[in-house]
Structure formats: structure tokens, C-alpha cells
Amino acid sequence: MAESGLHPAELTRVQGQLAGSLVLALEDTESRMSRIGKTLLVRKEFRSVEDELAAIRAVTADQVAALARRLLSGRLSAAVVGPYASSDDLPAELTELVG
């Protein structure tokens, strides 16, 4: 995605999934209150469902690609749980990934 971008159909599908998930979460009181609380904690302001849906629809493929490039251009990190005594015991794929 960082290199080739995001196909418009993919963006539309993801926007639909996000919007659908948001709307479905409005079906019970606990989910509605949780959304309001998270919005206030993260943004320090309340955003209506309409505002959230508009923000989802406003995201462009170029914005997604730019964010992917920014996030994936640096060195990656990994946390590993397993029977590894040292980093020498890690699978080669993981060692190559994190450098």
C-alpha cells in the first residue's frame, strides 16, 4: 500500500466497513456511551455520528498512502513471546523484518 497506493474500490469498501461498524455500534446503550467517552478522551470534544461518518467519507486514497509511507518508512519493532533464549534463536523472517 505504501508503494502502490490504495485502489479506489478498496477505499470504498473500507469506508463502508468503518461506517457500518460505527452505525451498528449505536444499537446498544453501552456502545454509544463508550463511543462518546472515547471521543471525548481522544479529541477533547464531542463529534456527532454524522461528523464521524463525514470524516470517514472524506479520507482519500492519497492520504492513506501517505500515512502508510510515513508509518512504514522507519525501522520496525516487534515483541516476541516464546521459548527464545536470545535474539539469535528468532526465526529468520523476524530477524530480517526488524533488521
Q: How many CA atoms lie within 13 A of 90 on its CB side?
A: 15
Q: Looking at residue 39, what is its pLDDT?
A: 87
Domain ranges in the chain are: 8-74
Which pLDDT score is estimated for 2? 66
Count the alpha carbons within 13 Å of 70 in the hemisphere toward its beta carbon.
6
Per residue in 34-89, pLDDT (tens digit) is 988 988 999 888 888 999 999 999 999 999 999 988 988 887 777 888 888 887 88
pLDDT digit string (tens) for 6-27?
889 999 999 999 999 999 988 8
pLDDT of 99 reads 63
